[in-house]
Protein backbone atom coordinates (compact mmCIF):
# COMPACT_ATOMS: atom_id res chain seq x y z
CA UNK A 1 0.00 0.00 0.00
CA UNK A 2 1.01 3.58 -0.66
CA UNK A 3 0.02 6.25 1.89
CA UNK A 4 -1.77 8.15 -0.89
CA UNK A 5 -4.19 5.21 -1.09
CA UNK A 6 -5.42 6.27 2.38
CA UNK A 7 -6.99 9.38 0.85
CA UNK A 8 -9.46 7.51 -1.33
CA UNK A 9 -11.97 6.66 1.41
CA UNK A 10 -12.84 9.91 3.19
CA UNK A 11 -11.64 13.52 3.22
CA UNK A 12 -10.69 13.23 6.91
CA UNK A 13 -8.42 10.88 8.88
CA UNK A 14 -9.39 10.83 12.56
CA UNK A 15 -6.56 11.28 15.05
CA UNK A 16 -7.53 9.04 17.95
CA UNK A 17 -6.41 9.06 21.58
CA UNK A 18 -7.76 5.90 23.22
CA UNK A 19 -7.91 5.64 26.99
CA UNK A 20 -9.92 2.42 27.18
CA UNK A 21 -9.15 -0.69 25.15
CA UNK A 22 -12.79 -1.78 25.30
CA UNK A 23 -13.71 1.36 23.34
CA UNK A 24 -11.47 0.49 20.41
CA UNK A 25 -13.71 -1.92 18.50
CA UNK A 26 -17.07 -0.10 18.97
CA UNK A 27 -15.38 3.20 18.08
CA UNK A 28 -13.83 1.75 14.91
CA UNK A 29 -17.20 0.21 13.93
CA UNK A 30 -18.97 3.55 14.57
CA UNK A 31 -16.51 5.42 12.38
CA UNK A 32 -16.69 2.80 9.62
CA UNK A 33 -20.50 2.92 9.74
CA UNK A 34 -20.23 6.64 8.99
CA UNK A 35 -17.83 6.01 6.09
CA UNK A 36 -14.53 6.72 7.88
CA UNK A 37 -12.42 3.61 7.46
CA UNK A 38 -8.89 4.93 7.84
CA UNK A 39 -8.01 5.42 11.51
CA UNK A 40 -4.88 6.87 13.11
CA UNK A 41 -4.57 5.58 16.67
CA UNK A 42 -1.91 7.64 18.42
CA UNK A 43 0.76 5.95 20.51
CA UNK A 44 0.05 8.43 23.27
CA UNK A 45 -1.64 6.10 25.72
CA UNK A 46 -0.63 2.71 27.14
CA UNK A 47 -3.84 1.31 25.63
CA UNK A 48 -2.90 2.21 22.06
CA UNK A 49 -1.15 -0.99 20.93
CA UNK A 50 -3.76 -3.39 22.33
CA UNK A 51 -6.48 -1.19 20.82
CA UNK A 52 -4.87 -1.36 17.39
CA UNK A 53 -4.49 -5.15 17.70
CA UNK A 54 -8.19 -5.53 18.46
CA UNK A 55 -9.29 -3.20 15.66
CA UNK A 56 -7.04 -5.00 13.16
CA UNK A 57 -8.42 -8.39 14.25
CA UNK A 58 -12.11 -7.56 14.65
CA UNK A 59 -13.03 -4.68 12.32
CA UNK A 60 -12.24 -5.78 8.77
CA UNK A 61 -13.68 -2.54 7.35
CA UNK A 62 -11.11 -0.47 9.22
CA UNK A 63 -7.62 0.38 7.99
CA UNK A 64 -5.74 1.05 11.19
CA UNK A 65 -2.49 2.97 11.46
CA UNK A 66 -0.32 4.20 14.31
CA UNK A 67 0.07 7.91 15.01
CA UNK A 68 2.71 9.67 17.10
CA UNK A 69 5.42 7.32 15.80
CA UNK A 70 8.61 8.96 17.09
CA UNK A 71 11.22 6.16 17.00
CA UNK A 72 12.19 2.93 15.27
CA UNK A 73 10.87 1.08 18.32
CA UNK A 74 7.47 2.75 17.90
CA UNK A 75 7.43 1.69 14.25
CA UNK A 76 8.27 -1.92 15.15
CA UNK A 77 5.59 -2.02 17.85
CA UNK A 78 3.02 -0.61 15.42
CA UNK A 79 3.86 -3.20 12.78
CA UNK A 80 3.71 -5.99 15.35
CA UNK A 81 0.26 -4.75 16.48
CA UNK A 82 -1.08 -5.15 12.94
CA UNK A 83 -0.97 -1.53 11.78
CA UNK A 84 -1.09 -0.96 8.05
CA UNK A 85 0.59 2.47 8.11
CA UNK A 86 2.41 4.86 10.43
CA UNK A 87 2.12 8.60 10.95
CA UNK A 88 4.79 10.73 12.59
CA UNK A 89 4.49 14.29 13.89
CA UNK A 90 7.93 15.02 12.41
CA UNK A 91 10.60 13.66 10.11
CA UNK A 92 13.62 11.67 11.28
CA UNK A 93 15.88 9.43 9.25
CA UNK A 94 15.57 6.81 12.02
CA UNK A 95 11.80 6.54 11.65
CA UNK A 96 11.91 6.75 7.86
CA UNK A 97 14.48 3.94 7.61
CA UNK A 98 12.72 1.75 10.17
CA UNK A 99 9.43 2.02 8.29
CA UNK A 100 11.15 1.28 4.99
CA UNK A 101 12.78 -1.83 6.51
CA UNK A 102 9.47 -2.94 8.03
CA UNK A 103 7.60 -2.28 4.79
CA UNK A 104 5.29 -0.03 6.82
CA UNK A 105 3.99 2.91 4.75
CA UNK A 106 4.86 6.17 6.53
CA UNK A 107 3.21 9.58 6.48
CA UNK A 108 5.93 11.77 8.00
CA UNK A 109 5.29 15.20 9.44
CA UNK A 110 6.82 18.51 8.30
CA UNK A 111 6.26 22.15 9.13
CA UNK A 112 8.93 23.99 7.10
CA UNK A 113 10.44 24.09 3.59
CA UNK A 114 13.66 22.53 4.91
CA UNK A 115 11.74 19.59 6.35
CA UNK A 116 9.87 19.13 3.06
CA UNK A 117 13.25 18.96 1.29
CA UNK A 118 14.61 16.44 3.80
CA UNK A 119 11.51 14.24 3.47
CA UNK A 120 11.66 14.50 -0.34
CA UNK A 121 15.31 13.45 -0.31
CA UNK A 122 14.19 10.21 1.37
CA UNK A 123 11.52 9.56 -1.26
CA UNK A 124 8.42 10.99 0.42
CA UNK A 125 6.01 13.24 -1.47
CA UNK A 126 2.85 12.84 0.64
CA UNK A 127 3.48 14.58 3.96
CA UNK A 128 1.61 15.44 7.09
CA UNK A 129 1.65 19.20 7.72
CA UNK A 130 1.78 19.56 11.50
CA UNK A 131 0.90 21.57 13.53
CA UNK A 132 -1.16 22.95 10.67
CA UNK A 133 -2.81 25.94 12.25
CA UNK A 134 0.08 26.95 14.50
CA UNK A 135 2.76 26.45 11.82
CA UNK A 136 1.25 28.85 9.30
CA UNK A 137 -1.99 27.24 8.15
CA UNK A 138 -3.39 27.91 4.72
CA UNK A 139 -0.96 30.74 3.80
CA UNK A 140 2.02 28.44 4.40
CA UNK A 141 0.47 25.59 2.41
CA UNK A 142 -0.14 27.99 -0.48
CA UNK A 143 3.44 29.26 -0.26
CA UNK A 144 4.86 25.69 -0.26
CA UNK A 145 2.95 24.90 -3.47
CA UNK A 146 5.35 27.17 -5.42
CA UNK A 147 8.68 25.45 -4.82
CA UNK A 148 7.14 21.99 -4.19
CA UNK A 149 4.52 21.46 -6.94
CA UNK A 150 4.74 17.67 -6.65
CA UNK A 151 4.25 17.46 -2.86
CA UNK A 152 0.81 16.90 -1.30
CA UNK A 153 -0.17 17.29 2.32
CA UNK A 154 -2.41 16.01 5.10
CA UNK A 155 -2.70 19.02 7.42
CA UNK A 156 -3.47 18.24 11.07
CA UNK A 157 -3.43 20.23 14.28
CA UNK A 158 -6.17 22.67 15.17
CA UNK A 159 -8.43 21.78 12.23
CA UNK A 160 -12.19 21.48 12.84
CA UNK A 161 -15.26 20.51 10.86
CA UNK A 162 -15.75 24.25 10.21
CA UNK A 163 -12.21 24.93 8.94
CA UNK A 164 -11.53 21.63 7.11
CA UNK A 165 -13.26 22.77 3.85
CA UNK A 166 -10.82 25.69 3.49
CA UNK A 167 -7.88 23.30 3.77
CA UNK A 168 -9.47 20.73 1.45
CA UNK A 169 -9.97 23.48 -1.15
CA UNK A 170 -6.20 23.74 -1.64
CA UNK A 171 -4.87 21.75 -4.62
CA UNK A 172 -1.94 20.45 -2.52
CA UNK A 173 -4.17 19.09 0.27
CA UNK A 174 -5.40 15.51 -0.23
CA UNK A 175 -7.03 14.89 3.15
CA UNK A 176 -7.19 16.52 6.62
CA UNK A 177 -6.42 14.95 9.97
CA UNK A 178 -8.10 15.81 13.20
CA UNK A 179 -9.31 14.71 16.59
CA UNK A 180 -12.64 16.56 16.37
CA UNK A 181 -14.35 13.42 15.05
CA UNK A 182 -13.91 11.85 18.47
CA UNK A 183 -14.98 14.31 21.19
CA UNK A 184 -13.77 13.11 24.57
CA UNK A 185 -17.24 13.34 26.12
CA UNK A 186 -18.72 11.11 23.41
CA UNK A 187 -15.89 8.61 23.86
CA UNK A 188 -16.24 8.59 27.66
CA UNK A 189 -20.01 8.05 27.35
CA UNK A 190 -19.64 5.40 24.64
CA UNK A 191 -21.92 7.52 22.44
CA UNK A 192 -21.13 5.64 19.23
CA UNK A 193 -24.16 7.02 17.36
CA UNK A 194 -22.77 10.52 17.75
CA UNK A 195 -19.43 9.39 16.39
CA UNK A 196 -21.14 7.79 13.38
CA UNK A 197 -22.99 11.09 12.80
CA UNK A 198 -19.74 13.08 12.99
CA UNK A 199 -18.10 10.62 10.58
CA UNK A 200 -20.98 11.10 8.11
CA UNK A 201 -20.57 14.88 8.38
CA UNK A 202 -16.85 14.53 7.74
CA UNK A 203 -17.49 12.35 4.69
CA UNK A 204 -19.88 14.98 3.32
CA UNK A 205 -17.00 17.48 3.17
CA UNK A 206 -16.00 17.86 -0.42
CA UNK A 207 -13.69 20.02 -2.41
CA UNK A 208 -15.68 23.08 -3.55
O1 LIG B 1 0.10 12.63 17.52
C2 LIG B 1 0.49 12.86 16.38
O3 LIG B 1 0.96 12.00 15.63
C4 LIG B 1 0.45 14.22 15.86
O5 LIG B 1 1.24 14.56 15.06
C6 LIG B 1 -0.49 15.21 16.26
C7 LIG B 1 -1.94 15.08 15.82
O8 LIG B 1 -2.11 14.86 14.46
C9 LIG B 1 -2.58 16.34 16.21
O10 LIG B 1 -2.28 16.60 17.57
C11 LIG B 1 -4.05 16.38 16.03
O12 LIG B 1 -4.44 17.68 16.29
P13 LIG B 1 -5.90 18.09 16.76
O14 LIG B 1 -6.85 17.68 15.71
O15 LIG B 1 -5.80 19.57 16.93
O16 LIG B 1 -6.13 17.38 18.07
Q: What is the pLDDT of residues 46-96, one digit of tens each?
A: 999 999 999 999 999 999 999 999 999 999 999 999 999 999 999 999 999
Q: Are 200 and 161 a contacting pair, CB within 8 Å? A: no
Q: Are 184 and 21 a contacting pair, CB within 8 Å? A: no
Nearest atom in ligand 1 to the alpha carbon of residue 160 is 14
Paired residues of 38 in beta bridges: 63
Residue 206: its pLDDT value, please? 72
0.90 surpassed by complex ipTM? yes
| Top mutation candidate among 17, 43, 156 for ligand 1, by most atoms within 8 Å of CB | 156
Q: What is the pTM of this model?
A: 0.96
Residue 207: its pLDDT value, please? 55
Distance CA 134, CA 136 (A): 6
Is 109's C-beta closer than 6 angstroms to any atom of ligand 1?
yes
Residue 27: its pLDDT value, please? 97
CATH number (3.10.20.30, 3.40.462.10, 2.60.120.650, 3.20.20.70) of 3-203 reads 3.20.20.70
Amino acid sequence: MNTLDLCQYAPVIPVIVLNRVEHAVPMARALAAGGVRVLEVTLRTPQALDSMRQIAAEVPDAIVGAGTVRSAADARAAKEAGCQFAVSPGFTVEVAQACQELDLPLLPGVATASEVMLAQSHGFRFLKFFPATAAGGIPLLKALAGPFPDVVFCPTGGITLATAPDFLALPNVKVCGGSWLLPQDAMDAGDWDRITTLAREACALRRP
